[in-house]
Amino acid sequence: MFSLVIIATIFILSAAVQRVSGIGFSLVALPLLVLVVGPLDSVTLIVINSGITSAAMTIGAIREVAWKRLIWLSVPSAIISFPAILLLNVMPVPVVSLLIATLLTICTITLVTEVKVRRQIGRLGEISVGLVSGFMNSAAGVAGPAISAYAFSAGWSYRTFVATAQPYFIISDAAVLLAKFAFRETGETSLLMPNQIGFAVLGCVAGLIIGNKISRWISETTGRWVVVVVAGLGAVTTAGRAIVSLV
């Protein structure tokens, strides 16, 4: 019972952060959840509940979704997931972690310095960001920082970013899950119990309610800085894991 309460608490925090900042679900959940249910089942739980959280947020803000931009970002992200998973299966884990940490750091710097992209980049920029974000999601479950860095540098409002990011995560996560299933090693099995999934879902619902109440009091500027902090923490924790693996 104690482990179920921990699972619910983890997903309350993850969903609340996601509701407030638009990103950060896996950044919060993964490091904590691995200690409770292990790496394989952690990914499964995160994908399931990330999809639920993002779907609920999309329904609540569907009018603010930038649908054309969503398509140009999500299609490349989904496509890159399959060759990325194949590549990652043969690459050393520390090397992958260092690469992801570097990309996360670049994204965070872009957010902090408020670098503006040229309008002429247009679709090419969105396709490139989709590819980078899709690779990062395949490798470490962190699709959000690259999308947020591009969105704010291109002049998206905080509300538009939060609304558009959710269906993007659904598509990107589904592609990663399909790729992992297609290229999984024989003998990989899940030990998840129905009550673990149930408590995780309940935690997400509670987290969304809490995050929704908090988000009403958050301004555009504060919202941007929440995204910066979440992305920065992702860079630090990923780099830390890479360094520990190398030592």
Residues spanned by the domain of 177: 2-246
Q: Which residue, 115, 126, 148, 168, is CA-closest to 224? A: 148
Q: Report the predicted TM-score, pTM, of the whole model to 2 decimal places.
A: 0.75
What does the block give as tokens for 50? Answer: 């990330």
CA distance 10 to 30: 9
- What is the tens place of the pLDDT at every residue in 155-193? 888 888 888 988 999 999 889 888 888 887 655 555 667
Q: Does residue 107 surpass a pLDDT of 70?
A: no
| pLDDT-derived band at 120, boundaries 50, 70, 90 | very low
Domain count for the chain, please give it.
1
Q: What percent of the chain has pLDDT over 90?
A: 13
CA distance 166 to 18: 9
Give me the mean pLDDT over the 185-203 stretch.
74
The residues, any chain, with a CB within 8 Å of residue 187's CB and separated by 6 or more, are: none
The residues, any chain, with a CB within 8 Å of residue 153's CB and separated by 6 or more, are: 110, 114, 115, 116, 117
- What is the tens place of the pLDDT at every residue in 19-76? 887 777 777 777 677 777 765 677 778 778 888 888 888 887 888 899 999 999 999 9
